[in-house]
Structure 1
Amino acid sequence: MENGNTANEPASFWTQANALLRKNLTFQKRNVKTNVGLILSPFILCLLLVLLQRLLEYQLDKAENKCGCVCVRRQGDTCLEEECGIEHSDLDQFATCPIPSPPEWPPLLQVPAPQYRAVRTDYFPFSDFPNTSCRKNGSCPVTMLFTGTNQSFGEIISRNMIPSTLSTIYSSDIMASLASNVVGSESEPGNTNFLEPAFFSDLPIYYLQNQCTQNSTFSVSVQMSGISKQQEVICAQGLRLWRNSSSEVNNELYKGYWRSNIERQINEIAAGYDFLNSNGSIFNVSIWYNSTYKKDTGFNPIALARIPRSVNLVSNAYLQFLLGPGTKMFFEFVKEMPKPETPIKLDLASLLGGVFFTWVILQLFPIPLTSLVYEKQQKLRIMMKMHGLDDGPYWMISYGYFLAISIVYMLCFVIFGSVIGLNFFTMNDYSIQSVFYFIYINLQISLAFLLASLFSNVKTATVLAYIGMFGTGLLADFPFHFFVQDTLYVFFILLWESLTGREHLLFYGRLKNLKGSALTQAVEESLKSVNLFHGGVADKQAGKYSGGMKRRLSVAISLIGDPKVVYMDEPSTGLDPASRKNLWNVVKRAKQDRAIILTTHSMEEAEVLCDRLGIFVDGGLQCIGNPKELKARYGGTYVFTMTTSIDHENDVENLVRQLFPNANKIYHISGTQKFELPKDEVKIANVFQAVETAKRSFTVSAWGLADTTLEDVFIKVARGAQAFNTLS
């Protein structure tokens, strides 16, 4: 199979790259269904997201999720006019209603619940706090800590902050009356001031006094948008404690936090005030507050903090210090800005945002990783390298191939998402998206190349790749994995099942620097030499070949380009007798123009194909020569075999000893015995005559006289080597 002089020259970088690229393109052409599935997968994901969005919108459009309405004019069963508003809505519907005139709420302090107010305990050993008995009847005071450089000034200001009497509560204007007092709530604040949870939580409103009197609890009727509600108002004693420094305040605030003690108990202090260098001409104050109520977890909207009343309270106390007890800045109410009707909307694409779409890109990560590891595990990269494929062209084309798949996938994803109308795509600049996706997929492919060097098992690599995808917080997309699994595994097997025999030889021929007519001629001669040319077999996909045909194609691949030395490792293993014979004929024709080094466990194969053979035992070469030489050297005997009944075994052995005194019995089981007979003592005519004589004395079931086989030689050499190793 002479393939032209160019085959003796190594292929250039671009020739190898061209060969690999052509093979990749041919493979892609053969796998149209897989490619269509790969392209459609982002479309399916986008479509699924849109369907979920439509289902969600349908649920949100129901009456229970919209502003409450009542029919104010009806004709028969038909409603002619509806009136909608917060007065017809429950708490779940309230947020969707238009609020042209938001309600006014009295400014509140954040007051600890009675069971959590600071008391003296073993882990909170401050002597000026009340003991724990006050928690039994809910009479624990609301504690505030104060510090500053001027204690006398600070104590005057702190006394002005908490009143001694309750201002008059006017039933005609309950909210303003409450605002004129120092009131607070233990309820958790909301995200807006359209509704004040203190008035909708069934919890009491607390008003702070220096000292609470008996019968200091009462209720008021609160009117809100036509809704009347009885609100309980309870007195809470305000406890003012002075500390010498801000570090002491910090220490006590922290010890009251439940994570600061092993008992996980709460000792909550309402607030802390540091007057710093304040005096009659300077007002400078820092305020501590409990930020836990803001619920700033990073995932949910931050709740409002009830700090304005704390600022107003200390400011009024300072004004009273300067201008007298009748001076104050009246903090009338807290109020939201007006708002139109706001239907509940939930955009899944925006809600999932970068997490979902980054996860979608991660679906591509297992493709390069498992492909590279699979090739490493099966030593397929080494095989292509033996055929002349250098590292440079291979890595360039492999990287480019994975990058092309990723780019096509992402283009389809962005286009489909934009056509369907996902806000994530339509409301973000496409140039920014392009840069982000391009950088991301390049980093992803680079990471796959890096991690591939750490794994040697494709199953381990696959599992870890999908664990990484699970780490995004979403379920892995198994249907997508099914779409691309052919690309993962079929692409890198030695015989690509989607490529034909001719296309395999064209690929490897190009790697051997064959071009043009020389390449075409070499491919045809190779196909003819292995009997794959006629009947259209050459143009069938390799996946449809029988085992023998695949072996013959593999031999043709190893021989194309006229290599001078070819290595074959057990080429006929697993073949039926007919296929094995055909393969042997191919090898016998091929060995006429080159050296073939063949390893095999079949002595028959070695004797048929090898002109010169060596026997290895325990990794060491024991002998070398042609088959006749080895038989003569390690054989020199005939093997005489006779089978009789067990009763006549001794008769057979006596017969052999009489004829051949130097015979050596090498096998004996159930009436069958084998003897090695020195060739210089054997006359074949005498053997036949002795057997015929023996048949008259006892029954002979079978007998034979055979020359030494290569298998006998191998056994003798192996035994000799093992005996030598044992002695040494």
Structure 2
Amino acid sequence: MDNVGDRRTELNATFRTQANALLRKNVVYQKRKRRTNCCIVLAPIFFCLILLLLQIAVNSALNSADNRCGCKCLTCCTKQNGVDICHDNTADNPCRPGVFDSCKVTDDTQCGLQYSSGSQASYCAVANPSSWPPFLQVPEPEYRAQPARPATTSLYTAQDRTTGEALAQQLFAGGADPASVAAAQVALQASSNAAGVQGEGFTLLGLTLGTPATAANRMYVESAFINATGVYNMVPDCASDTSTAQLNTLLAGTGLTGQNNFTCTAAQTVWSANASAIDGVLYCGWKDARCNATTNAPIINAYDTSYDFLDTGAGKFRLAMYLNDTNIGNPAASRGPEDPNRIQKPVNQAVNAFLVYALGTKYKAQLLAIMDFPKLANKLRLDFSSLLGPIFYCWLAQLLLPVMMVSLVYEKEKSLRIMMKMHGLGDGAYWAIQYAWFLMLYIIYIFVLIAFGSLIDLKFFRLSDYGLQIVFYLLWGNCLIAFAFLASTFFRNTKTAVVSSFLYVFGTGLLGSLLLETFFDQDVWWVNIVEIIPAFALYRGLYEFAQYAFRGSYQNATGLTFARLSDHKNGMPVVLIIMAVEWLVFLPLAWYLEKVIDSSTGVRQSPLFFLERWRKSRAVGAAGPSGSQTPASASTELSASAVQKDAGKADSLLINVESADVREERLRVEELGASPEGQSIIVQDLRKVYPGQDGNPDKLAVKGLSMAVARGECFGLLGPNGAGKSTSISMLVGLLEPTSGTARIEGCDIRSDMPAIYNMMGVCPQHDLLWEQLTAREHLHFYGRLKNVKGPQLAAAVDASLRSVNLFNGGVGDKQVRQYSGGMKRRLSVAISLIGAPLVVYLDEPSTGLDPASRRNLWDVVKNAKKERGIILTTHSMEEAEVLCDRLGIFVDGQLVCVGNPRELTARYGGYLVFTIMTANEDVAKADAFVRQLAPTAKRTYGVGGTQKYELPTSEVSLSSVFAGMERAKQQFQVLDWGVAHATLEEVFIKFAKSIGAEGGN
């Protein structure tokens, strides 16, 4: 027993040993798939090149004359009667923009604003930008708030209402005195003589100008002067206004085009109780707020910039401003560059109002003009990679999901996972190594994607902060791997898993592009719930990268950075949190589902299996030592098994009486419950019932199996197909959960100690479970390491195993298994079951498909392996059973019907001699009469022509009487040939199985 205990310790491989074995196997396996792995890793290069080509094609299409700064025209043409009439650009016959259709030849060395059309001007270099008067952003007249419409309304509040009212009266106060008008005339005259049009002269009048037009992206041209929406002169009362006419007079001499005149607009201020009231009124004035309408069209009540003067006093100025920013400066409103807000003039108004309030009317800080920075010439650019970024990179970032699913589901579908588990590989080591491999593959994949995308200057990668990209993609990679483990628990078929994965990847990308982007822009609250689906969280993160990269490309700025995560409506922080949480949730959830879902990785456990240890501890505490009961104790009450079957018209109960040898075996098992010394396998009343379906009764596959296998013994299970042999083996090796009863393998219970049993178990399954790309030597190295065999001992054990099954010579053991015949695979499966000298071995029809020589050699291997271990063997070869098995058990209709060694069974159930006689056809009747004289109850089993075969009961005849009788028979009729022999095991088995099967209604 001490030796067995030492062997159990030696076979108990640590987590590190198991992980090392699986890692080495996976490395070799992946080397054989290097082409596939290289294609996977290099896939981002292929797709990035496609994006680059599309980017080049789009930029080439956009690189037209209208999309760059204009150049001096050398030759221009116009159509006359459908014919192009062209001429050179000369002083006598100049090219006139707008008259001729096109310019055929340009001088690319002379480009600038003076040669550009309106569409070309924005692309020109501006070395000395013009200055423009600051404008107040006001609503369109038809949308201004009631009841002042068409006048504009600004709301205001303050902690001290008197102070607030005094400040509000100065917001639009001012006027055009003679001195300011003279100064404006001088300024405008100077600007008309300059190269650029400058409008600060209007501001010198001391009035407030407003426009419904938004500010241009860059203030090289003031959009108010070229926009048809007009310019408004904001005064307290238009009835007494005299400055608007003066403005129009000044405008006529400036050369400004696109705006014929200034329009007077009254601007009033209205007190509000507090800042919250201002905020609510401004929001309800928005077109989509629907505060003022439910079923009808929304009512728009738009207000001008509003003010909260807070605790402003004589020596203190504090200000908060409110404006509707829905379509101005809103990054989510457009993928293009942001429009700047017109906030300079409102701030200047409030400052001037405070100066007048605090110091008097002589003090003002007038904002004269706004000027942009100088700029270089540019061209129209469309960052196509960012425009397509979310959907394209969403597909690309999930491309490894089908790859992971193939790896995980394939090993379950082909039963390789359970094969590894039955040889001692724990779930923890399997998950750790698979996770590490997936993560390594993903990191290489993403590194290639980011590196190559940056190398070819895709703005999606170049403009985004690389640190943020690393955090995002690492979180996504771990979330994706965890999701793959979770999703794999629901699949058993590789093709189904792969197709479902591709549909998931493709479908989520399309839904994100066609549906979710709209809600991202609107920032609706339930989008965060939708992002719980991992692919949608990925899409939102990529969408944020793309938005910032697209705008950054226009603005020559950076994309998304850590500092911008706090931007309004930026969904990246929520995405990062969701990915991190799902990573931590998916892994334990996948582990739990694998335990409770029948996923071909072992016995399915109860949904509350994690509470079993707690329940057991409470049960032991309640029952105490005397309260325990072995699983076999229940079986002592029965000496027969009952089975209910459907007879078509009525149900009947059939009782199969237990034979003496089976009863003796069961009683022996019960006695061994207290002292199982020397026993390797003890099976106690093992039962398996499959629930009936569609109204059919339950199927009793195994009906109370009790047996014991000693160390050094090979126990053979014989029986017809469907008798329950494989079901019994499946329960012993942990593939199926017993309905009742149990078994102890070297003292460990199969219901609670299967991980320990796996460490000391070897299995040769009925069907070969092998990796086609690995060699026999690599298989044996892997399973040998799982049995804790290392170093030189492992190499020697592998060589010995290959020699024992004739896979060593000629380098056969170093060939991939896919090149093996069926017999070679079978021999390798037997070698795997015996590598590492396990304490228990299950051989399920090990010699199937072998030629006679290989079968004989395999028998020698099994006989030599019996020492100090228990072996259970199933076979359909009676010769194999007689050679290998110390004891046999015949299994029929789900139950053990007889037990004993081959000679005992032959003697006990084969109590007859097989007698064959061959005579002439006319002597057949004489021969039959002669046999009846020898044995009155003889049974003829075969008769063709003059050849007849009989079964002679040994109770009536003996070999000597048969020989003596044949001497007399030869004198009575012609005997051509004859023979007599004891019944073989195969004949006994067939006859016995038929009789029991008939009784059982088989």
Common topology (TM > 0.5): yes
Shift, 1:209, TM fit: 3.7
Segment of structure 1 superposing worse, 533-542 or 607-616: 607-616
What is the one-letter code of the residue matched to 2:289? R
Segment of structure 1 superposing worse, 68-77 or 494-503: 68-77
2:328–2:341 Cα contact (<8 Å) kept: yes
Cα distance change, pair 144–634 in 1 and its aligned pair in 2 (3 A) = farther
Cα distance change, pair 423–366 in 1 and its aligned pair in 2 (3 A) = same
What is the one-letter code of the residue matched to 1:112? P
1:538 maps to 2:813: yes
Distance 1:590 1:395 in 2: 35
What is the one-letter code of the residue matched to 1:104? S
Distance 1:225 1:718 in 2: 115
2:66–2:120 Cα contact (<8 Å) kept: yes
Shift, 1:107, TM fit: 1.6
Distance 2:358 2:250 in 1: 37
2:346 maps to which of 291, 295, 310: 310
Distance 2:273 2:123 in 1: 50
Match of 1:71 in 2: 73
1:501 maps to which of 762, 776, 787: 776
Query: In the TM superposition, what whole-angstrom CA distance separates every residue of 1:158-177 from its partner, at most 9, and x where no partner exists?
Result: 34433598898979679456
Cα distance change, pair 367–422 in 1 and its aligned pair in 2 (3 A) = same
1:369–1:449 Cα contact (<8 Å) kept: no
Match of 2:171 in 1: 161
2:909–2:992 Cα contact (<8 Å) kept: yes
1:365–1:444 Cα contact (<8 Å) kept: no
Query: In the TM superposition, what whole-angstrom CA distance separates every residue of 1:202-229 from its partner, at most 9, and x where no partner exists?
Result: 3222333444469999989979998832
2:404–2:438 Cα contact (<8 Å) kept: yes
Cα distance change, pair 587–283 in 1 and its aligned pair in 2 (3 A) = same
Cα distance change, pair 634–89 in 1 and its aligned pair in 2 (3 A) = farther
Q: Which has the higher contact order (CA 8 A, sep 6+)?
A: 1
Distance 2:451 2:48 in 1: 10
SS of equivalent to 2:270 = strand
What is the one-letter code of the residue matched to 1:206? Y
1:116–1:268 Cα contact (<8 Å) kept: yes
Segment of structure 1 superposing worse, 588-597 or 275-284: 275-284
Structure 2: where are the runs of 5+ without partners?
1-5, 76-87, 91-103, 193-197, 509-533, 543-767, 914-935, 939-950, 963-983
2:230–2:259 Cα contact (<8 Å) kept: no
Cα distance change, pair 195–714 in 1 and its aligned pair in 2 (3 A) = farther
The total of aligned residue pairs comes to 627
Query: In the TM superposition, what whole-angstrom CA distance separates every residue of 1:621-641 from its partner, at most 9, and x where no partner exists?
Result: 555445787788889999xxx
TM-score of the two chains, using structure 1 as the length reference: 0.67
- 1:601-612 superposed matches below 5 A: 612=887
1:569–1:600 Cα contact (<8 Å) kept: yes
SS of equivalent to 1:591 = helix
1:86 maps to 2:113: yes
Cα distance change, pair 100–514 in 1 and its aligned pair in 2 (3 A) = closer
Distance 1:584 1:93 in 2: 89
Cα distance change, pair 44–369 in 1 and its aligned pair in 2 (3 A) = same
Match of 1:645 in 2: none
Distance 1:12 1:585 in 2: 33
Match of 2:539 in 1: 473
Match of 2:158 in 1: 148
2:72–2:107 Cα contact (<8 Å) kept: no
Shift, 1:98, TM fit: 0.6
Distance 1:162 1:568 in 2: 99
What is the one-letter code of the residue matched to 1:592? K
Distance 1:226 1:582 in 2: 110
1:355–1:472 Cα contact (<8 Å) kept: no
1:111 maps to which of 130, 138, 142: 138
Match of 1:183 in 2: 209
Segment of structure 1 superposing worse, 106-115 or 323-332: 323-332
SS of equivalent to 2:257 = strand
Match of 1:204 in 2: 230
Distance 2:464 2:303 in 1: 46
Query: In the TM superposition, what whole-angstrom CA distance separates every residue of 1:581-615 from its partner, at most 9, and x where no partner exists?
Result: 78755653443232432457999997997664445
1:342 maps to which of 378, 383, 390: 378
Match of 1:387 in 2: 423
1:189–1:305 Cα contact (<8 Å) kept: yes
Cα distance change, pair 598–198 in 1 and its aligned pair in 2 (3 A) = farther
1:105–1:175 Cα contact (<8 Å) kept: yes
Match of 1:591 in 2: 862
What is the one-letter code of the residue matched to 2:832? I
Query: In the TM superposition, what whole-angstrom CA distance separates every residue of 1:170-202 from its partner, at most 9, and x where no partner exists?
Result: 796794565443222222333321233333443
Query: In the TM superposition, what whole-angstrom CA distance separates every residue of 1:438-461 from its partner, at most 9, and x where no partner exists?
Result: 996599459736863674245687
Cα distance change, pair 709–227 in 1 and its aligned pair in 2 (3 A) = farther
Cα distance change, pair 571–205 in 1 and its aligned pair in 2 (3 A) = farther
Distance 2:451 2:775 in 1: 35
Q: CA RMSD of the aligned region, Å?
A: 5.6
1:290 maps to which of 301, 317, 324: 324
Distance 1:364 1:101 in 2: 54
2:129–2:371 Cα contact (<8 Å) kept: yes
Match of 1:239 in 2: 268
1:30–1:498 Cα contact (<8 Å) kept: yes
Distance 1:615 1:27 in 2: 42
Cα distance change, pair 71–222 in 1 and its aligned pair in 2 (3 A) = farther
Query: In the TM superposition, what whole-angstrom CA distance separates every residue of 1:407-451 from its partner, at most 9, and x where no partner exists?
Result: 65566567756766778889999xx86x98599659945973686
2:834 maps to which of 559, 576, 580: 559
Cα distance change, pair 140–386 in 1 and its aligned pair in 2 (3 A) = same
Query: In the TM superposition, what whole-angstrom CA distance separates every residue of 1:229-265 from its partner, at most 9, and x where no partner exists?
Result: 2445433332332234334333322332333626354
1:104–1:334 Cα contact (<8 Å) kept: yes
Distance 1:246 1:519 in 2: 81
Query: In the TM superposition, what whole-angstrom CA distance separates every residue of 1:381-413 from its partner, at most 9, and x where no partner exists?
Result: 442344345677666655554555456556656
Match of 1:259 in 2: 289
Match of 2:485 in 1: 452
Match of 2:11 in 1: 10
SS of equivalent to 1:259 = coil
Query: In the TM superposition, what whole-angstrom CA distance separates every residue of 1:80-107 from its partner, at most 9, and x where no partner exists?
Result: 5753223443455333211122233222
SS of equivalent to 1:229 = coil
What is the one-letter code of the residue matched to 1:291? D
Q: Percent identity of the aligned residues? A: 38
Distance 2:252 2:108 in 1: 26
Shift, 1:304, TM fit: 1.3
Shift, 1:270, TM fit: 1.3
Query: In the TM superposition, what whole-angstrom CA distance separates every residue of 1:321-355 from its partner, at most 9, and x where no partner exists?
Result: 56766765443322212222234456778999999
Distance 2:307 2:795 in 1: 92
Cα distance change, pair 253–534 in 1 and its aligned pair in 2 (3 A) = same
2:404–2:484 Cα contact (<8 Å) kept: no
Distance 1:516 1:161 in 2: 90
Structure 1: where are the runs of 5+ without partners?
120-128, 131-138, 477-492, 639-660, 664-676, 686-705, 724-728
Shift, 1:474, TM fit: 9.8
Distance 2:284 2:106 in 1: 62
Cα distance change, pair 715–427 in 1 and its aligned pair in 2 (3 A) = same
Segment of structure 1 superposing worse, 404-413 or 553-562: 404-413
Distance 1:445 1:156 in 2: 62
Query: In the TM superposition, what whole-angstrom CA distance separates every residue of 1:467-486 from its partner, at most 9, and x where no partner exists?
Result: 6457533999xxxxxxxxxx
Match of 2:367 in 1: 331
SS of equivalent to 1:314 = helix
Cα distance change, pair 247–440 in 1 and its aligned pair in 2 (3 A) = closer
Distance 1:322 1:410 in 2: 62
Distance 1:517 1:708 in 2: 48
